[in-house]
Amino acid sequence: MVRTRIAPSPTGQDVHVGSIAAALMNYAWAKKNHGQFIIRIEDTDRTRLVKGGEEKMLDTFNRIGLVADESPNTGGKFAPYRQSERLNIYKKHAEELVDKGKAYYCICTPERLTKMREEQVAKKQIPKYDRLCFSNQKEIVEQVKERNLPHVVRLLIPEGQVKFNDVVRGEITIDNKNLDDQVLLKSDGFPTYHLGVVVDDHLMEISHIIRGEEWLPSTPKHVILYQAFGWKLPVFAHISLLRNPDKSKLSKRKNPVWTSWYLDKGIFSEALLNYLALMGWSHPEGKEVFSLEEYIKVFDIKDIQKTAPVFDPVKLEWMNGVYIRDIENEDLKLKIYEFYNKKYPEEIIGKTIPLIKERIKKLADYLPLCEFFFKPPESFEIRLEAKQALLKNMKEELEKISEWKANAIGESMQALVKKLGIKAGEFFMVLRVIITGKKISPPLNESMEILGKEECIKRLGKLV
């Protein structure tokens, strides 16, 4: 049975697009194998919790369509799915390791640990716990029990090497000498990430862990933990982190990294998922545009690539443009209507669709291009003061048109250009700016038809 998961920590304000890329692979792998995809909230680092972060994250997963089979919201067989509600489980498991001699109590003070580390660094040694408490573990356990002393539980890293296989990176061998006796349970009863993640992945029967490469250095400790418990290892796949087009690590300073930023700009969830599917994986036929359904069919974890994928918002917008052109006009109309909270008349939006479908790349591009359909321009991109005579002529000619259609408007204006003997380019630029306020707009004659004769004449009239 394939069971995958994504285990976000609510330490940011939303889900990072890189986490969606990882979640997508987990989701697809579970669905492809008729398994389950789980969302677990890892909220044990209490100092870094962001208020409202969890709700926002769960909402984003839903918005983008990566709906979990089990999660804090939906529940499931292995509930609770929020680590802060599972503290007794971690404590029990930490104690089990202590009883087996695979972990030990430590009562060293933070002051002692800092001093120890400073000395090690000064001696150019790898900073590691010196096992003072392990060397007199019997007394420490007695003291802890008798006096109820605050203590942590540390993993006893065994001698030797740890070996594991990573689907993306191949076989990995680490010398245990390089590993610190990791704290598993903190003195406040909260587990560290390492204990929480291993216990939960095991208890929740996770078969495949697909996650960012930033967790690779932690994996040897996890493997030692699995072995200490006597549990079967899941399959690991550590995927490469997303990069900016200049190859630097994707960070807030260069480009937005939060998923809802893109959705809020009117990037379709389907397009964002499609684009993210290409991060570290390619379609076997080299296709760039494909549905989630198709992705699930053709995706295989063995095809995940190691090279760092580039997340380019410009490319993402291009792809979204492809999705926009692909949907029915009626659906695009409704999307735009909803996107602007039903503020603009649905009927007018509907009429504008054929004019703008090829021109917008995301829903937020619509209003800057089309606002003039809903209210007269308040400013003009070229100066119109010296054009009074021309404006008057335009107005008079337009008033004569009986059937207000794009081609009639076009013909009438062309005739005027000829009559006046002026340059067509300049003429239409002036008219465009009068009607739309801008030098670039959707096709003018069609736009004027939609606006209606009265409104167009009114816009001209205001200026003469």
Q: Please check whether residue 236 is in contact with residue 219, taking contact to mean a CB–CB distance below 8 angstroms.
A: yes
Residues 6+ apart with CB under 8 A from 255: 244, 311, 313
Q: Is the CB of 29 or the CB of 372 nearer to ligand GLU?
A: 29
Catalytic residue (one of 252, 418, 423, 462): 252
Q: Please check whether residue 223 is in contact with residue 235, taking contact to mean a CB–CB distance below 8 angstroms.
A: no
Q: How far apart are CA 397 and CA 394, in angstroms?
A: 5
Q: Is the CB of 56 or the CB of 211 nearer to ligand GLU?
A: 211
Q: How far is the CB of 57 from ligand GLU (least distance, A)?
A: 10
Q: Is the CB of 220 or the CB of 442 nearer to ligand GLU?
A: 220
Q: CA-CA-CA-CA torsion for 161, 164, 169, 173, nearest 10 degrees?
A: 10
For 251, phi and psi rounded to 5 degrees? Answer: -145, 160
Pairing of strands 152-155, 183-185: antiparallel
Count of Cβ atoms closer than 10 Å to residue 32 Cβ: 16
Q: Is the CB of 7 or the CB of 451 nearer to ligand GLU?
A: 7
Q: Quick one: which of 268, 273, 300, 204 has its CA closest to 23?
A: 273
Amino acid at the residue 79: A
Q: Is the CB of 86 or the CB of 333 nearer to ligand GLU?
A: 86
Q: How far is the CB of 225 from ligand GLU (least distance, A)?
A: 12
Q: Quick one: which of 40, 116, 22 has its CA closest to 79?
A: 40
Q: How far is the CB of 197 from ligand GLU (least distance, A)?
A: 5
Distance of CA 256 to the CA centre of its chain: 10
**Residues within the interface to ligand GLU (CB under 6 A):** 7-9, 42, 197, 211, 215
Amino acid at the residue 262: Y
Q: How far apart are CA 234 and CA 237, in angstroms?
A: 10
Q: How far apart are CA 295 and CA 273, in angstroms?
A: 10
Q: How far is the CB of 16 from ligand GLU (least distance, A)?
A: 9
Q: How far is the CB of 69 from ligand GLU (least distance, A)?
A: 17
Q: How far is the CB of 239 from ligand GLU (least distance, A)?
A: 11
For 421, phi and psi rounded to 5 degrees? Answer: 65, 35
Q: Coil, helix or strand for 235? A: strand
Q: Is the CB of 197 or the CB of 292 nearer to ligand GLU?
A: 197
Whether 252 sits among the annotated catalytic residues: the reply is: yes
* Active site positions, annotated: 252
